[in-house]
Amino acid sequence: MRSSRKALRRSDDLVAAGLVSREHRAGIEAVAARYALALTADVAGLIDPADPRDPIARQFVPDPAELEVGPEEMADPIGDGAHSPIEGIMHRYPDRVLLKPVNVCAVYCRFCFRREVVGHGRALSGEQLAAALDYIRAHDDIWEVILTGGDPLVLSARRLAPIVNALGAIEHVKIIRVHTRIPVVAPGRITPALVRSLRARGKATYVVLHANHARELTPEARAACARLIDAGIPMLSQTVLLRGLNDEAAVLAELMRALVECRIKPYYLHHGDLAPGTAHWRTGIEDGQALMRALHGRLSGLCQPAYVLDIPGGHGKSPIGPNYLTRVGGSNGAARYAVEDFNGRRHAYPPPR
């Protein structure tokens, strides 16, 4: 394993760190010219350059396959633009909005569904942020605000605290949710000051961690998560199903168990979005359903995420996990079903007398 004292942001940095061979530099440079590139020192230090299928390198080191765009892929695969009334706000569901205070990340995932926009520009201006907060104040059906981006935890505690405090002062906002990768890719940023900046009096704050492989949960990452949880901030997780990385039941099970051991409840397993240049990452939906069947009954219910698809065009997420129940007859008042257990055996419900 190798480490770097600073973030790697150029193809030459990757070559110097031994993560990319010099003969592959030009291909990496071509990808980096289109999509943002960054690996933190923590991430770089986790990579084994001798392993061509290293699960950390594959997530963050560019691949020339990213320049191959399929006809079904689109720049805005989940329809963010259709639900963005003003800069920095996405209002897709009635009771919650996304607030994007910053458009950059500490690292850039090679499968990111916002890869066409992240990494360009820094943060909302003061005027844009004020307008976004005014939008939330004006819509009293908004119960939850989700801070995303980019990664909101690239902001300092000094810059985060006013945003969280402003949301805390809005009577109808009860939940503040933060989506981030920072605890695993830059755990040292989760300082006591940053943890304090995420809490608003009278509101519930949740942090949702993006992690795709158990190796991301280093001792330092686990300690960073513990700092949040010990301060009274519950944590959930989201994972993207990635071909050749976590699409085996044993690998996915190891991750889900590791998350629960860290007191993090698995929340979503995302089917890969139709982002440009990501076909080499996507599995079939049936493959994802088979994985969920493999986890069902063999892992604690605490380890079970919801397998979801973000419908292209901005129509929201839908669960697409396997179905275990089939109607087999009976009237509305006395319907009869066949229900499948985790061993694949079918049982009548209600049971025959």
Number of other CB atoms surrounding residue 291 within 10 Å: 23
| Residue 197 parent element (H or E) | helix 192-197
Judge whether 310 counts as a catalytic residue: yes
12 CB neighbour count, 10 Å cutoff = 14
Known catalytic residue at 48: no
Instruction: From the candidates 243, 265, 317, 336, give the one annotated as an active-site residue.
Output: 317
Ramachandran sector of residue 30 (left: φ over 0; alpha: ψ -120 to 50; beta: rest): alpha
Catalytic one among 105, 225, 262, 303? 105
Whether the Cβ atoms of residue 9 and residue 35 lie closer than 8 Å to each other: no
Name the catalytic one among 10, 48, 63, 93: 93
Is residue 96 flagged as an active site residue?
yes
243 is catalytic: no
Specify whether the CB–CB gap between 267 and 317 falls below 8 A.
Answer: no
Annotated catalytic residue, options 13, 54, 247, 310? 310
Q: Among 302, 307, 311, which residue's Cα sits nearest to residue 321? A: 307
Please say if 63 is a catalytic residue. Answer: no
3-state secondary structure of 46: helix
From 58, 100, 110, 114, the catalytic residue? 114
Tell me whether residue 5 is one of the annotated catalytic residues.
no
Residue type, 37: L
Q: Is the dihedral of CA 327, 329, 335, 338 positive or negative?
A: negative
Q: Which of 9, 10, 34, 96 is catalytic?
A: 96
Catalytic residue among 13, 76, 151, 273: 273
As to burial, measured by CB atoms within 10 angstroms (0-12 exposed, 13-18 middle, 19+ buried), residue 336 is: middle
- Residue 303 among the catalytic residues: no
Task: Single out the catalytic residue among 13, 76, 112, 177.
Answer: 112
**345 in catalytic set:** no
- Catalytic sites, residue numbers: 92-93, 96, 105, 109, 112, 114, 273, 310, 317
